């Protein structure tokens, strides 16, 4: 019952297998083309989008599993995430997750949409570039040169939170860039350990961070004019 | 705290379900006081719930669930015990994977979430494939899994798995039920979520102490959580501009995806296409959304779509895409996908808009609602006489006609057509995954929604038989259920035959037996110099005899002149039949667009790849 298929070579049996019709090279092809994002290419503007860094603030149900839902989404869809912070809000049932991501616009658009699809996610907002952003870092350094350490700490509005003959631990608060700069400066003393919280952020003034972003974020706009949609975000 | 507790009139005595034997319980903690009181059917007030498990079953009953598929086990026993008194018909499957596929198919055919149950640990992990399958295809499904008692969770207890952790990437939503007073409502909510908006699988993990615990809390009616929002109507300004675009189109097509069927928009799309004489292409999950015997039908597009569908997609100037996520098997390379077309994309899930293909006119909303909005907004039909003639020309240029050399082994296309001919228009087809699945797409003429049941996104071998079991229970009695399977696929889940025999389910399985992992063999011939690494089974059991050993009817076909009669005989049997059809082992599926290729450059034979 078996072993009848001796002709192991491709197309071993006699006749040509396949369907009839003009071969590929005899078929006309349309002129147009699409780019990586599936956008029809206007020969003038073949926009290849550069990634940008932005802050996305989400309000979520304070329940088990939400954090893994959110972080799982990022790994599963290969979104680039720089930091994620989570903490309670004024409402015991809700937590805020603040995400710093770096993606081209279509990726940022997808992140927001995919986050909104998670059932425990209540609201998602990409913060404007003027939003307040703060991060806290603890930097443990060698304390061989206490006077210089104190000067640098002062320069970055830092606070010494612990010190012993060998080490000093400094707390720095501020924008990501400020902390980067402080750490770079502290390097001269020899850094033993660092812990950073990642960015926390709130919208400015009377705006609610959980409210849908004030600027038009209708799918229509976002889809048709991704380039016009977002001002480049620079940290404060 | 329960305001919903109702006072119940003295119940009438009713016939108990006459299931064979009560499963032996290994657990007697927190016993339900009134466990053996009968539950009444037909409209009379049901007994109040007394345990978490009873509220779980009550939630299913309230949701109108009639069938459930599953396998018993320690952690889910309280739920099964409550099911024992319910009107819900439970089908004990031979394997939990089968339960998940049966529930998936049940959901596809009925439109309501199919329900599957499994115990903790291996029961739950065995469901993963079917749940992932439902997730990829947006099929409505509710899975209920037992879990070790709450106090044991996290201690690596016997048969403990982090089920919600495992399932998170493959479910629309899932819940660990921690509260006996809330567990019924958790199930109601999960049922509603599975069905509403873009459907998908949901799961509730049920720790045994929670289902065993006493509660008099009736579940809430099935409703989605407040935070779950679905947009029904699309933005009217975009509808208006899309309508204008359609009016100005000269080479329009409609591309109908699975969302058309799930959103019950087939009728609206059909009317729209016919009114404006727009050629229609479908995706694979969209099969059945438009009658393939209609002049405007170009049938399925994509990797193994028809040449004419792929030509139409490639050359159109306006595409009205409904309920599709532009999977790569459909689009081929993105650069060459409908390069001239402005795309009107209708989808209920905003995240599908411009995910793979940029939408020039994004219309977020319910497919039926938005197509109707569009229908009202379009004032003039496209001027597309030439285009339609071109489409018809492609249909004859790239006809799907095939040779039937009498002295060669049976060609699979012939078998698919013979099965189609022998069955009614509303017959339901299920499949495995491989070449046979593609022939089932290409050579069966589908005319009705919810008659094509297959594993599209995940591509799960072994889907066909358990899906046929689920489809059988969801379909009307006058709908035949035919599983077009591959030998390899059938081998993966054929233990389901025991279920089909026990339940006397009228299904016909036609195994297109090439003794090959055929699709892989075809790719090896085309792309790996014919090196048949691990694709040549070389030997297969005799499926007709195997069927007989299970108690099903077994048939075998080796010659062309046996095809029609044997199919007729198999279909005539009341219970399950299996036809082992020995087809040409060298038969290949064409046309073919290689992965990432240009849809317009499909190959018609291997030498064109
Ligand atoms: C569960 C699973 N394992 C492996 C594959 C990879 N695969 C795709 S098609 C195929 C061959 C299927 O063989 P068969 O069911 O006999 O179908 P045929 O192609 O021969 O018609 C395989 C192994 C798959 N799709 N699913
Ligand atoms: Mg095979």
The DSSP-derived string for A122-171 is EEEEEPPTTSEEEEEEEEEEE-SSHHHHHHHHHHTT-EEEEE-SSEEEEE
Nearest chain A Cα distance for residue B57, angstroms: 23
Distance from CA of B311 to the nearest CA of A (A): 9
* A48 has a chain B CB within 8 A of its CB: no
- Beta partners for residue B109, in sequence order: none
Q: Architecture of B49-212 per CATH?
A: 3-Layer(aba) Sandwich (3.40)
Nearest one of B316, B329, B311, B319 to B398, comparing CA atoms = B311
Interface contacts (A, B; CB < 8 Å): 176
**The pLDDT of residue A223:** 38
Residue given tokens 């509220």 in the structure block: B55
Contact A34 B358 (CB under 8 A): yes
Residues with CB under 6 A from ligand 1: B 432-436, 459-461, 486-489, 512, 514, 516-520
Range list of β-strands (E), chain A: 52-61, 81-88, 94-103, 121-126, 132-142, 159-163, 167-174, 191-196, 200-202
Place of tokens 């990797």: B303
> Which ligand ends up closest to the CA of B587?
1
Which DSSP helix (H) or strand (E) runs through B117?
A: strand B114-118
Report d(CA B439, CA B484) in Å as an integer: 9
Rounded to the nearest whole angstrom, what is the distance from the C-alpha of residue B490 to the centroid of ligand 1? Answer: 10
Question: H/E element holding B482?
Answer: strand B481-486
Domains observed in chain A:
52-130 (3.30.70.260), 132-200 (3.30.70.1150)
Residues facing residue A69 across a β-bridge: none
pLDDT at residue B30 tops 60: no
Beta-bridge partner residues of A100: A55, A83
Contact A124, A60 (CB under 8 A): no
Strands of the B361-364 sheet, one edge to the other: B297-300, B280-282, B252-256, B318-322, B342-347, B361-364
Is there a contact between B145 and B127 (Cβ–Cβ < 8 Å)? Answer: yes
What is the length of chain B?
A: 609
β-pairing, A81-88 vs B89-92, is unpaired
pLDDT at B266 over 50: yes
Instruction: Tell if the CB–CB gap between B585 and A5 is shorter than 8 Å.
Output: yes
Nearest CA to ligand 1 atom 20: B518
Confidence category of residue A36, pLDDT binned at 50, 70, 90 = confident
SS3 B548: helix
Domain B412-590 maps to which CATH number in 3.30.530.50, 3.40.50.970, 3.40.50.300, 3.10.520.10? Answer: 3.40.50.970
pLDDT at B7: 38
All CATH 3.40.50.970 domain ranges in chain B, comma separated: 49-212, 412-590
Tokens of B49: 């719930």
pLDDT in the model for residue A2:
39
Which helix (H) or strand (E) covers residue B437, if one does? helix B435-443
Q: Which of B327, B344, B313 is nearest to B284 (CA)?
A: B327
Distance B1 CA to ligand 1 centre (A): 54
A186-235 pLDDT tens trace: 999 999 999 999 999 999 998 889 876 544 344 433 333 333 333 333 34
Longest dimension (CA), chain A: 90
Yes or no, beta carbons of A219 and B542 under 8 Å apart: no
Cα A130–A135–A139 angle (5° rounding)?
150
Distance CA B50, CA A54 (A): 51
Q: Which pLDDT value is given to residue B42?
A: 57
pLDDT-derived band at A44, boundaries 50, 70, 90: low
Q: How far apart are CA B3 and CA B10, in angstroms?
A: 21
More confident residue, A46 or B50: B50
What is chain B's Cα-based Rg? 25
Residue B24 CB partners (closer than 8 Å, separation 6+): none
- Which chain B residue has the Cα nearest residue A220? B362
**Side-chain-side CA neighbours of residue A68 (13 Å):** 13
What pLDDT score was predicted for residue B303?
A: 98
Average pLDDT over residues B466-485: 98
> What H or E segment, with its residue span, contains residue B524?
helix B518-527
Q: What is the pLDDT of residue A10?
A: 44
> Does ipTM top 0.90?
no
Which of B129, B130, B489 best tests ligand 1's pocket when mutated (most atoms within 8 Å of CB)? B489
Q: How confident is the prediction for chain B on average, in pLDDT? A: 93
Catalytic residues of B: 96, 158-159, 208, 519
Cβ atoms of B250 and B384 closer than 8 Å: yes
According to CATH, the topology of domain B236-397 is Rossmann fold (3.40.50)
pLDDT at B22 over 50: no
Whether residue B280 contacts residue B297, with contact meaning beta carbons closer than 8 Å, is answered with yes
């Amino acid at each position: 019952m078996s072993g009848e298929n001796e002709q192991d070579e491709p197309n071993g049996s006699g006749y040509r297998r396949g369907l009839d019709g003009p071969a590929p090279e005899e078929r006309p092809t349309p002129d147009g083309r699409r780019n990586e994002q599936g956008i029809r290419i206007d020969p003038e503007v073949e926009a290849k989008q550069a990634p940008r860094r932005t802050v996305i603030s989400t309000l979520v149900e304070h329940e088990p599993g939400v954090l893994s839902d959110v972080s799982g989404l990022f790994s599963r869809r290969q979104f680039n995430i720089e930091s994620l912070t989570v903490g309670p809000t004024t409402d015991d049932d809700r937590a805020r997750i603040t995400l710093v991501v770096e993606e081209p616009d279509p990726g940022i658009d997808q992140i927001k949409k995919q986050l909104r699809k998670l059932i425990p996610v209540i609201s998602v907002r990409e913060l404007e570039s003027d939003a307040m952003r703060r991060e806290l870092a603890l930097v443990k350094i060698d304390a061989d040169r206490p006077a210089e350490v104190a000067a640098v700490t002062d320069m970055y509005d830092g606070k010494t939170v612990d010190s012993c003959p060998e080490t000093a631990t400094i707390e720095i608060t501020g924008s990501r860039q400020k902390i980067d700069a402080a750490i770079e400066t502290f390097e001269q003393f020899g850094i033993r350990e660092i812990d950073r919280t990642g960015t926390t952020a709130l919208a400015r003034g009377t705006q609610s961070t959980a409210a849908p972003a004030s600027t038009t974020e209708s799918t229509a706009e976002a889809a048709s004019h991704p380039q016009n949609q977002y001002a480049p975000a620079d940290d404060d | 705290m329960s305001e919903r507790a109702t006072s119940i009139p003295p119940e009438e005595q009713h016939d108990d379900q006459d299931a064979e034997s009560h499963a032996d319980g290994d657990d007697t903690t927190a016993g339900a006081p009134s466990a053996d009181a009968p539950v009444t059917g037909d409209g009379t007030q049901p007994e109040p719930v007394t345990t978490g498990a009873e509220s779980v079953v009550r939630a299913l009953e309230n949701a109108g669930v009639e069938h459930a598929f599953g396998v018993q086990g320690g952690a889910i026993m309280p739920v099964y015990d409550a099911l024992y008194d319910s009107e819900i018909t439970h089908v004990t499957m031979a394997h939990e994977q089968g339960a998940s596929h049966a529930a998936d198919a049940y959901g596809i055919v009925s439109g309501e979430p199919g329900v599957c149950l499994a115990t903790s640990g291996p029961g739950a992990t065995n469901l993963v494939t079917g749940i992932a399958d439902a997730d990829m295809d947006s099929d409505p499904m509710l899975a209920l899994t037992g879990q070790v008692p709450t106090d044991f969770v996290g201690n690596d207890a016997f048969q403990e798995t982090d089920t919600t952790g495992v399932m998170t990437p493959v479910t629309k939503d899932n819940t660990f039920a921690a509260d006996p007073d809330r567990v019924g409502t958790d199930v109601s909510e999960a049922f509603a979520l599975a069905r509403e908006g873009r459907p998908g699988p949901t799961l509730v993990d049920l720790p045994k102490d929670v289902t065993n615990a006493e509660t008099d809390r009736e579940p809430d009616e099935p409703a989605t959580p407040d935070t779950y929002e679905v947009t029904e109507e699309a933005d009217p300004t975009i509808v208006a501009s899309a309508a204008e675009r359609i009016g100005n189109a000269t080479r329009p097509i409609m591309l109908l995806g699975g969302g058309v069927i799930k959103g019950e928009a087939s009728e609206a799309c059909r009317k729209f296409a016919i009114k404006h004489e727009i050629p229609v292409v479908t995706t694979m999950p969209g099969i059945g959304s438009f009658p393939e015997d209609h002049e405007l039908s170009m049938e399925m597009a994509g990797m193994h779509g028809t040449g004419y569908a792929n030509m139409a997609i490639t050359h159109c100037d306006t595409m009205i895409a409904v309920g599709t996520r532009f999977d790569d098997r459909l689009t081929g390379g993105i650069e060459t996908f409908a390069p001239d077309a402005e795309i009107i994309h209708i989808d209920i899930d905003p995240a599908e808009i411009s995910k793979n293909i940029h939408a020039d006119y994004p219309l977020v909303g319910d497919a039926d609602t938005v197509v109707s909005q569009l229908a009202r907004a379009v004032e003039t039909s496209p001027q597309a006489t030439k285009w339609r003639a071109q489409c018809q020309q492609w249909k004859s240029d790239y006809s799907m006609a095939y040779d039937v050399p009498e002295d060669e082994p049976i060609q699979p296309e012939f078998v698919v057509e013979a099965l189609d001919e022998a069955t009614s228009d509303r017959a339901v087809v299920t499949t495995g995954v491989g070449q046979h699945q593609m022939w089932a797409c290409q050579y069966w003429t589908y005319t009705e929604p919810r008659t094509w049941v297959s594993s599209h996104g995940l591509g799960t071998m072994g889907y066909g038989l358990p899906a046929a079991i689920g489809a059988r229970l969801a379909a009307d009695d006058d709908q035949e259920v035919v599983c077009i399977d591959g030998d390899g696929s059938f081998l993966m889940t054929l233990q389901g035959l025991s279920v089909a025999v026990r339940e006397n389910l009228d299904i016909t399985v036609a195994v297109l037996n090439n003794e090959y992992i055929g699709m892989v063999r075809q790719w090896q011939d085309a792309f790996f110099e014919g090196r048949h690494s691990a694709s040549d089974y070389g030997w297969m059991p005799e499926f007709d005899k195997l069927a007989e050993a299970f108690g099903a009817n077994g048939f075998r076909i080796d010659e062309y002149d046996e095809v029609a009669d044997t199919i007729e005989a198999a279909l005539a049997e009341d219970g399950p039949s299996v036809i082992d059809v020995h087809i040409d082992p060298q038969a290949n599926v064409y046309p073919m667009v290689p992965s990432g290729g240009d849809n317009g450059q499909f190959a018609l034979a291997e030498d064109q790849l």
